[in-house]
Chain A
Amino acid sequence: MKREESLFGNIDWTLFIVFAVMVLIGIANVYSAAYNPKAPFLFDFSQKYGKQIMWVGFSTFLGLLVFLIDASIYRKFAIPIYLFCLVLLVIVLFMPPVNGARAWLGIGSMGIQPAEFAKIGTAIALASYISSINVKQQTVNTVIVANIILFIPVVLILLQPDAGTFVVFTSFLFVMYREGITYDPIVLHLVNLIPGVRFKKTWVGSHFIPILFVVIFLSIITLLMSNNTITFSFLPGIIIPGFFGVIGTLFVMSISSYFILRFFVAKRDRRRITMIVILGFVLSSLISSVVNFGFQGLRKHQKDRIELFLGLREDPDGEDYNRNRAMAAVGSGGFFGKGYSNASVASVESNHVPESETDFIFCPWAEEWGFVGSLTLTLLFMFMLFRIIQIAERQKATFNRVYAYCVAMILFYHYAVNIGMNIGFAPVIGIPLPFFSYGGSSMMSFSVMIYILLKLDSQRGDFLG
């Protein structure tokens, strides 16, 4: 067949190139962050940059394997793969704890983190399940089964405990939302218990997931900003309360998202989009206001508790140590940055930002390349995410589409939470920045995730179901 001759012929080169560029930039960044003057050689395998290259090599090898194996294997063996991941998650609970969590399988630096690979397993299982049912007739049962697929690895991960990966697993809820598996049946069930009420569909139940996340996201940002004031060095004397900053930003967002959406949306939908944007702005402003004034109205000790949880406390040498230093590293980058290998706060050697080669890898990048670098990184991620969505939407097989959405959401979560930690928008939960953070497990799992997607996409022609 034709397919045999062009093993790499149907690959989506756009996605692959973005992926490759990010991996290469990632290596350069680790080399700068973890540079050891005693071992300047890039391929020195005793150093973190040498090891990172080794992991990339490993990942490429795994990628080749993925390409040699027919894509149908994932659907066929979805359940064994999923179970294998679960078994690993169970075994890891009996390993000695490292830094307070039983997350590592293996010895010392050569260990792997099963939780990273469980993401792929869960994505495949979820894709397999959703492709096997008719979502148009979703029932309480289908919702529950889909949630159980999610629930088991989540519980095992929480036992480690690994709060970061737990948060990432909630990304699957969005995939389920996209595929129409919502909590609507459950909500309907409950609502219809009320005598005289007979709904076929509730708006809240259908859009429960995004609404919930918008509320959480907005609340956190509002809380983080509510005690701040915004000043401008070029506009002395002007002090804007943080809350108005949030509202202002929302307004700018709405306007710009409207214009961006005009390009994506068919003409007949434009009115609807306008309505949605206006409604979205009004509602989010409302949520933000409620949270802000509600928070201001709280008693002192209640406020304290929330502030402690969010790491809002002005305690740069205590609770808020890591984030304060990470923010200082990012914030001191300026427009063009301090230059390659000139990070003064974020370098591993100076030890000012703990974990600056893994979870806080964005620090050296943002410090050395400034806003230009931050913007480039954001654009790369956005481009990759949109490309994956595009790929997802062109799949004929439900399995492929669901899997692609899983990849997009996982990557998005990692990006959002990881960068959020660095800019004070998220509590410090340790999750890596895909393709940038040093570490074998994350490098391999993200790469394999992309390779499987590329493979599935390259075979989208021999569609079956």
Chain B
Amino acid sequence: MNNDSRRYVIIVFFLLVGAIYTVRLFYMQVIDESWTLRAQQIAEKRKQITPPRGVIFDRSGRKIVANKTYFNLMMVEAKIKNFDTIAFAKLIGWTPEKVKSRFWEIKLGEGKYKNPATGKTTSNYQKIRAYPFVKEIELDEMLNMAPYLKNFPGFYEEITSMRSYPFANGANILGYLSEVNGDEIKKDHFYSPGDNIGRAGLERFYEEELRGIKGIHYIVTSALNNAIEAYAGGKYDTMARQGPPLKLGVDITLQAYGEKLMKNKRGCIVAIEPKTGEILAMVSAPSFDPNLFVGKKSIAKNYPKLLQDPKMPLYPRPLSAEYPPGSTFKLIQGLVALQEGVITPGTGFPCKKSMVGCHNHPNAGSLAEAVQYSCNPYFYHIVRRVIQQGKRKKQTEDAEIGLRKWVKYMHSFGFGEKLETDIIGIRSGLIPDVKYYDKWYGHHNWAFSTIRSNSIGQGEVKATPLQLANLACILANRGWYYTPHFVKSIGKKGPLAIYRKKKYTMVNHRHYESVVEGMRRVVNEKGGTGSGARIKDIVVCGKTGTVQNPHGEDHSVFIAFAPMYKPKIAIAVFIENAGFGGTWAAPVSNLMMEKYLLKKITDKEKEEKMLKANLD
């Protein structure tokens, strides 16, 4: 091959490359569609549409958590023209320095991307994108601003929503919202920066229901950020859907009344509808207005204040405070003794104060009377019979068997275990078991005499107010309960499945009547400790408790339900360091029950006295 014909080698080369490239380009551009999708993926912009959160109604359909519209002032840097910083600062009520620093905060806050191939670093911030410049502007502020915004091209308002609470009550139940943090965004891709998330209470427990479904529209844009087309023909677009409304069992007027009664007191009220397990009211005193926790600005202002308050308004007392149950605990002991067959309803014990102190009252000739008089020695006797059944010769071994059984009974009443109520912050209280005492005293080193204080609700046992309210429910129902819960219905679906399952205690329903009779006497008979809870024409059953505690004055406790037959409300009231149960807790329960059952207060004097009482 001579040199001149080598030109053909070069020509063939050109042709070969030209032809291969043409084939390849034809394949890439015309046949293979994967690159088109990839291009759309690169150039698409997601437009997220966040729906307003689901609203919350109380049991009679009053809206107690609503959404209020507010505005964000958005900025698109590429569209800003002839910007007058001073005039703009004046318009939004900031200093010019703050306007400038906010701008840099947005710009730098987006972070940077380093292209590993070219080594060039580019900012994630894009001039053509919209960023919220001022957040959470109220409607009236916006109305003042809006007419002048046209002087500032590149700025526009965007409507969005925030919680509002028509009733200033139930903050401890409802919880609040605040902005998601980085970890939450990483954990759940639902969220993007600036989104809100439920932080406490129902807002947190029902977060996934309430937040709804975000709408995402994918748009492919051209160089000038003009939308060209929907990505993949809108195939992947989703519509935003608001979360379903929650209907609560809470009666907001009862809740509000409870919070009013508990002003200047520390403690709590839990009221439950026994038939359904729906919580009617849950007051944690001191309480606060849920509107204090709306929006970034007010949370930043109010949260630290409430957190540092020595009265601990943010502490969910009804769920987390573990008090000794005091005399209210005697009710279960009577039931367990009957179920175990160690007494009959007619069993009596003399009130000998040798073992334990008691107040002066006639000897109890029956269980009902023992409840009526809240006789301490009586309950020592019967619990001893439960614990020490003589199945082993040695006292300590016998007590171990007895306590094991006793613990099971307590659990069946919801004590010593976390109730599965739909809220955050529940604690289990304490039912000391064999392990507990073995650790404390050593194996086979204890017997009934060691642990006897438990039989009158002192000693090691602890219960939350919610558990005591649930006990009132069990007594009202004579032996069963639904787990107490707030949400009656999620949209139209009814409550969660766990709240539709009836739970039975280990005590047969026929044993309840004598204890309930005792509770009737507590309120309605002479010598009863809870006469302050009496309501005309309605039979109230109750039990007082006066809880000794290391923090000072006794806690005043009362649990009750009414009416005696077909009960509509069960209630537990705790007032910290207020003294005798009958003096404070019983009248407060009475007022609550009247309010709920009669919708009016008959004894204005009593109401006045309770409202005025300052037990702080």
Determine whether the beta carbon of B120 is less than 8 Å from that of A354: yes
Is B86 interfacial (CB-CB < 8 Å)?
no
- Look across to chain A and name the residue whose beta carbon is closest to the beta carbon of B36: A332
Is B17 interfacial (CB-CB < 8 Å)?
yes
- Look across to chain B and name the residue whose beta carbon is closest to the beta carbon of A352: B42
CA distance A256 to B23 in the complex (A): 13
Q: Which residues of B contact A392 (CB under 8 A)?
A: 7
Determine whether the beta carbon of B39 is less than 8 Å from that of A178: no
Determine whether the beta carbon of A331 is less than 8 Å from that of B19: no
Determine whether the beta carbon of A350 is less than 8 Å from that of B25: no
Determine whether the beta carbon of A386 is less than 8 Å from that of B118: no
How many whole Å from A362's CB to the nearest CB in chain B? 10
Is B10 interfacial (CB-CB < 8 Å)?
yes
How many whole Å from B10's CB to the nearest CB in chain A? 6
Determine whether the beta carbon of B116 is less than 8 Å from that of A319: yes
CA distance A349 to B129 in the complex (A): 12
The 8 A CB mask of A417-440 against B (1 = contact, 0 = none) is 001100101001000000000000
CA distance A371 to B13 in the complex (A): 22
How many whole Å from A244's CB to the nearest CB in chain B? 14
Determine whether the beta carbon of B7 is less than 8 Å from that of A389: yes
Is A455 interfacial (CB-CB < 8 Å)?
no
How many whole Å from A25's CB to the nearest CB in chain B? 17
CA distance A135 to B3 in the complex (A): 10
Determine whether the beta carbon of B32 is less than 8 Å from that of A331: yes
CB within 8 Å for A332 and B118 given contacts A210-B13, A378-B21, A389-B7: no
Q: Which residues of A contact B30 (CB under 8 A)?
A: 334-335, 371
CA distance A132 to B24 in the complex (A): 43
Is A180 interfacial (CB-CB < 8 Å)?
yes
User: Of the candidates A180, A354, A389, which one forms a contact with B3 in the assembled complex, judged by CB atoms under 8 Å apart?
Assistant: A180
Q: Which residues of B contact A206 (CB under 8 A)?
A: 1
CB within 8 Å for A349 and B24 given contacts A319-B116, A334-B30, A382-B14: no
CA distance A329 to B40 in the complex (A): 9
CB within 8 Å for A328 and B42 given contacts A232-B31, A253-B16: yes
Interface residues of A in 288-337 (CB under 8 A from B): 316, 318-322, 324-325, 327-335
- Look across to chain A and name the residue whose beta carbon is closest to the beta carbon of B14: A385
- Look across to chain B and name the residue whose beta carbon is closest to the beta carbon of A34: B223
CB within 8 Å for A419 and B29 given contacts A347-B222, A412-B14: no
Is A174 interfacial (CB-CB < 8 Å)?
yes
Determine whether the beta carbon of A332 is less than 8 Å from that of B38: yes
Q: Which residues of A contact B115 (CB under 8 A)?
A: 321-322, 354
CB within 8 Å for A331 and B43 given contacts A354-B118, A378-B21, A382-B14: no
The 8 A CB mask of B400-423 against A (1 = contact, 0 = none) is 000000000000000000000000
Most-contacted residue by chain A among B117, B220, B225 (CB, 10 A): B117
CB within 8 Å for A35 and B223 given contacts A327-B35, A352-B42, A374-B29: yes
Determine whether the beta carbon of B28 is less than 8 Å from that of A331: yes
How many whole Å from B419's CB to the nearest CB in chain A? 49
Determine whether the beta carbon of A344 is less than 8 Å from that of B221: yes
Most-contacted residue by chain B among A367, A370, A378 (CB, 10 A): A378
Is B12 interfacial (CB-CB < 8 Å)?
yes
Determine whether the beta carbon of A178 is less than 8 Å from that of B7: yes
CB within 8 Å for A351 and B122 given contacts A233-B31, A335-B29, A385-B14: yes
11 examples of A-B residue contacts, CB within 8 angstroms: A35-B224, A135-B3, A252-B23, A253-B16, A257-B15, A328-B39, A330-B29, A332-B39, A338-B228, A342-B228, A423-B21
Which 10 pairs from chain A and chain B are nearest by CB? A331-B35, A347-B223, A332-B39, A344-B43, A328-B39, A328-B38, A180-B3, A371-B29, A331-B28, A374-B25
Binding site for A on B (CB under 8 A): 1, 3-36, 38-43, 115-120, 122, 126, 128, 220-225, 228
Known: A349-B224, A350-B223. 16 other contacts (CB 8 A): A99-B119, A100-B119, A221-B20, A253-B19, A257-B19, A316-B38, A319-B117, A328-B35, A335-B29, A335-B30, A344-B222, A344-B223, A370-B29, A382-B18, A419-B21, A425-B21
